[in-house]
Structures are given as structure tokens and as C-alpha cells.
Structure 1
Amino acid sequence: MTEIYTATLDRIVDGQTAVLLLEEDGETVDQLNVDVARLPSESQHEGAVLEIVVEASELCEAEYLPEVTQSRKETAQGRLDRLSKRLSGQD
């Protein structure tokens, strides 16, 4: 069965294995470990968001989504900024 997921590169282990968190409807539903060299070169960093095609638990295709990656990075930074302001305001 062929499935399409949005995936976030969670981490790279030993410089070779990419740990992808697979998402459906905004929720993490599974994890897939792949050789980092199978991913597009521009997506070989933590936090990269990709659209992937998986068949029989194997990565078939991967497309980097730079706009989604940047948007998520900005959202996360905004949360951190708000949290740090809240904490610093409680002196």
C-alpha cells in the first residue's frame, strides 16, 4: 500500500540515519528511519519538512517543503520568545 505523509526530520543519528516523524492531520502517527543520503540535499537538517511517499514501510519519494519548514521555524521561535518574556516578567 502506498501512503503519502508530511514528515519532519527529527534528528540525524551518527551522521547517516535520518529519523522522520510521520504526520497525519497535524498529529505524529509513526516514525521512519532512512539513510540521510536518500533525502534531497537541501532537506538534510533537523526540522526540515518533507512530503514523502512510503510503500511497504520503505521511502519511495521525498520532496522538501522549504516554505513549510520556514513557517514552522518561525512559529516555534515565536513561542519561545513569548515564553521567555513571560518568564522574565515574573522576577
Structure 2
Amino acid sequence: MAEALSIRSALNHALENRYTKLVLKSDAQDLVLAITALEPIKEIYGLLFDIQALASLFTSVSFVFVPRSQNSKADLLAKSAKSRFCSVALSD
């Protein structure tokens, strides 16, 4: 769910900044498969619909699976952001 929300957010951000071509890489293999093969995941059906609708607005868009082991910088950044978010949420 979190990865799907991130992808939807990234697509919105790219559109707001007038990007026309985009390559999104993710370590969420099932999600990439659901997006590219149009194989819905019941729990996030609405998010998948949003992602596909937003993706259709680009001249070119692709979704690529990248194993976490091959993308350690992004994984560390995501873990750091999650840690900071959880700290802020707990202190509120």
C-alpha cells in the first residue's frame, strides 16, 4: 500500500512539473507486475486505477522492478524517511 501511494504521488509530482517521460523503479515486484500486466491486487484496486490513469497522461512511462539489493541508496533514504515520519507521528 505504501509503495503504491508513493508511486501515485511521484506520478502527480512529475505531471505537476511537466515531465512527459518517466521511468519509475521499485523494489515492490508484485506492485510493478500489477501495474504493468494489469493484474489487479484487490486491496489496492483504487490506487492501481489511479496509477494507470495518471500513467496514461505521459508520452512515455515505464515501471521497472529493481531488487532492493541493487538499490541500497534508495532503500536507506526510504528507511530514514520512514524513521523520521514515525518519530514525528509518535510525538504528536
Q: Give the structure-2-normalised TM-score.
A: 0.35
**Who wins on radius of gyration, i.e. which is larger?**
1
Greater RCO, CA 8 A, separation 6+: 2
Question: Which structure has more helix as a fraction of its residues?
Answer: 2
Q: Give the structure-1-normalised TM-score.
A: 0.35
Question: Which structure has more strand as a fraction of its residues?
Answer: 1
